[in-house]
Chain A
Amino acid sequence: MVEVKIPNPFREGLREDRATRPVQLVIFGASGDLTCRKLLPAIYNLAQADLLPENFCVVGFARSQMTDEEFREQLRRSVANSSEIRVRDKNVLEELASRCRYVEGTFDDASAFKRLGGVLTEDDLKYGTAGNRIFYISTPASLFGIIVEQLHEAGLTGDSGSADSVRIIVEKPFGRDLASAKALNDEMLKYLREDQIYRIDHYLGKETVQNILVLRFANGIFEPIWDRNYVDSVQITVAESLGIEGRGAFYEETGVVRDILQNHGLQLLSLVGMEPPTTFDARDFRDEKVRVIEAIRPIDVKEAVRGQYGPGFVNGQPVVGYREEQSVAPGSMVPTYAALRLFVDNWRWAGVPFYLRSGKRLPKRVTEIAIQFKEAPHLPFRKSQIEQAEGNVLALRIQPDEGVTLKLEAKVPGPSMRIRSVAMDFSYGATFGAEDASPYERLILDCMKGDQTLFDRADGVEAAWALVDPLLQAWDADRSIVFPNYAAGSWGPKEAEDLIARDGRAWRLP
């Protein structure tokens, strides 16, 4: 087949959101939980929304024994069971299913990769996908290296002349510390270029996370006050009411810092703290994100609090403590809560504390960023009872009930001068109506389009690990802390309250 490098002139001006470049999507770990719960429903949603290219097919690869038809049945079951499906269309589902095939094999079996190559070549001819492939590696990180190596050995990673015809998506966590992250990056970069690697952190696929950038950089009123002169502090909360949901073995190896703060937490901080990128293309945007992470002062262990939940009540229901969860060691020292006080040492943010907290079994599921502005410098309301007005707060709600709230002070109607805080609320759902696409839809689509903006880059991943690694090591070495130290259903350990109270501030109640 002849590959033509000219652009398709009929695409100009179509203003489509869809991917148009022919492509095969290969999923490693095709029988796994993530594939069933997230990836297959996302691919179906893309098909239903007519966002996939016409020349498209899916190949699943996993250790489980499965025929093509059983893989198609897995697709149907995933779609049937998913709450993320917006429109159920049997024709679309069957059309998608007809384009799915499955290859069974272990990830170190060269003959399985040879079989995979054969299937891909057949499908290339059948669907006109022109050798364009996306390999979605939905497996534990420990398998990334061997899979990429096997792909290379089987001649499936593309040559340098057509490098953008092959792209690889890998799932977080990217390593479990700085050394393993570097080793992983080195291993992948042996066979691939950085511009072929798409490291997915699904947080960046959320509409409301992207709206942080629009709020900051498309509204002239915020950027002039988005610095140390006007901002008192920033609080970032990633709270979950759920526990570990049967993932004890995983969580025992991970903990809250590796699971949330090293990636999602620092992603949110970097979006709030970054300088305006020159353009929103992948290089400029990711350069600025990395600069913020690199500017964060090394974490002082005295400015970090860890916690682990004990038994308690969440939403009125009794729940067990972490150590009583399945597959968790009875004396586990793994933190399920962490709070940090961080400083970004640059001209914009000098002296402004960024408080990050994340935990499991907190009172509710909420992710938000709150920009606390400084109080008015002078209150001119003499002979009134007003001595102090609270500073304004701009709260960016990531989930649930996505939106933006600006807390203002307003006069209470009446003859006397009284002030009350009021919330001016912008709700995404109410204003725009349309249901959000899942982050996986957005990110898979971006990868098909070759847009790396919302994916992590190797240096970004390593900068984040370089920041949290010393803290993890210090906590591993110091086992003097007594766990559990907060009750399920509370907002975390008392030490976290003390951490922020020392600065004369308090955690928000989101």
Chain B
Amino acid sequence: MSKQGDGAATPAWASGFELVRVEEAESTLTARWREIVATAGATPSARSLTLNLVTYVDRPDACTDVSQILAEIAGTHSIRAVTIIEDATVDEDAIQAFIRPDDHADAQGFSEEVFVRVNPRASASAASAVLALLAADLPIYLWWRGDSPFGRPLFRLLAPLVKKIVVDLMRFGDTNASLDTLRRLTERRAGHVAVADLNWKRLKPWRQAVAACFDDPQVLALIGDFDKCRVEYAADLDQPDTQHKTAGATLFAGWLARCVPRLRGRVRLAPVANAGARPGRLIAALFQSSRSQTELSLRRQDSPRQVVAEVRDAQGGLIRSWNFHVVKATEAELLHRSIDDPSRDAMLEAALAEE
């Protein structure tokens, strides 16, 4: 680390960035943009950004990951990314801004990244820096990459500005208590702010698999028959703590009950041992009919990564089967999907309400 003049050393993640004063960040970005245009030999007259993405990072050591994720996002969205890093090693009255114009951009469009490094106790100055750095007239999305934002002054200052908040339930602890945090977020400002949860997005392959089974007319015909459901999630049965990581499974159960009201109160969560899965991950969903004894099972398999679904009759005869390939989505892909859609996720809210 090399010492800078404003109270902290330049961190390793800032390699390739340019340290600037906050008030000069905008003009420096403009100057860099002109340089890129001149180098490329083209003469566009507009920087067509599509949104402001404000990111909160609670740990300085996560900055390298975040920087890489933002670079991936910038590959498909022309964004102004402003990232706040809380770092206790920075002086309380100091604030550092690092800029990185998109050096992969062609001359006609590019993204811009500004990392603002502040002391955790300097929330007000961090918020004011963000305000100064936002590109005008574009929607503001807040990616809160930390634990619960409630009670955090920075969140209180930023939240009123934003159109969408992106969080990850796993970072809130992945327990039922974290669902309360998510629910409170969706209820803020009478639901006028959209909320996306990366963990809910992780459940999408399971939701797609269930939906795909019921696309089959023969299976759809059975939907009124299914009156019980068991959702299995991974846990270390020797470590009771891991059995509390039920947030994902609970949300999934809420979704099932929302889609088929007959299943309300009849979806049972069951922790199961599974060495290949992190605690809390879904392992299986089993739909059962008391009347016909028909069963639809969806079960995770690890190599290759897929969900195997089968419908069997009362005698165990196979009626239909599917293999749904599951590609593990990276955090960047989940974030990408979250910012691609500006609207509220009514199904997430409904699943939370069922839970």
Contacts and interface: CB of A to CB of B under 8 A. Distances in A.
A1 B46 CA distance: 58
Contacts of A6: 220, 223
A130 interface: yes
Contacts of A476: none
B353 to A, nearest CB: 13
A433 interface: yes
Contact of A55 (B50, B75, B106, B215): B215
A16 B208 contact: yes
Contacts of A9: 214, 223, 259-260
Given A13-B346, A430-B105, A424 B46 contact: yes
A2 B204 CA distance: 28
Given A9-B259, A422-B45, A20 B212 contact: yes
A498 interface: no
**Which size class do A's interface residues fall under?**
35 or more
B217 interface: yes
B191 to A, nearest CB: 15
Given A15-B341, A128-B320, A424-B45, A10 B259 contact: yes
A477 interface: no
Given A11-B211, A12-B347, A430 B108 contact: yes
A130 B221 CA distance: 12
A326 B106 CA distance: 41
B23 interface: no
A426 to B, nearest CB: 5
Contacts of B110: 430
Nearest to B105: A430
Nearest to A425: B44
A64 interface: no
B109 interface: yes
Given A128-B320, A430-B105, A22 B217 contact: yes
Contacts, number: 99
Given A8-B211, A9-B259, A427 B108 contact: yes
B315 to A, nearest CB: 19
Nearest to B210: A10
B94 to A, nearest CB: 36
Contacts of A53: 212, 215
A422 B223 CA distance: 61
Contact of B220 (A8, A431, A432): A8
Interface string A410-426: 00000000000011111
Interface in B193-212: 204, 207-208, 210-212
A14 interface: yes
A204 B50 CA distance: 25
A118 to B, nearest CB: 21
A21 interface: yes
Nearest to A19: B215
B208 A55 contact: no
Contact of B218 (A1, A12, A21, A431): A1
A460 B50 CA distance: 36
A481 interface: no
A430 B218 CA distance: 46
A478 interface: no
B35 interface: no
Contacts of A15: 341
A422 B350 CA distance: 50
9 contacts: A2-B221, A9-B260, A10-B214, A20-B215, A22-B217, A53-B212, A128-B218, A425-B108, A433-B78
Given A4-B217, A14-B207, A422-B45, 11 more contacts: A1-B217, A4-B221, A11-B215, A14-B204, A15-B341, A91-B325, A130-B217, A424-B45, A427-B109, A430-B48, A431-B50
Interface of A: 1-4, 6, 8-16, 20-22, 53-55, 91, 128, 130, 422-427, 429-434
Interface of B: 44-46, 48, 50, 75-78, 105-106, 108-110, 204, 207-208, 210-212, 214-218, 220-221, 223, 259-260, 320, 322, 324-325, 341, 345-347, 350
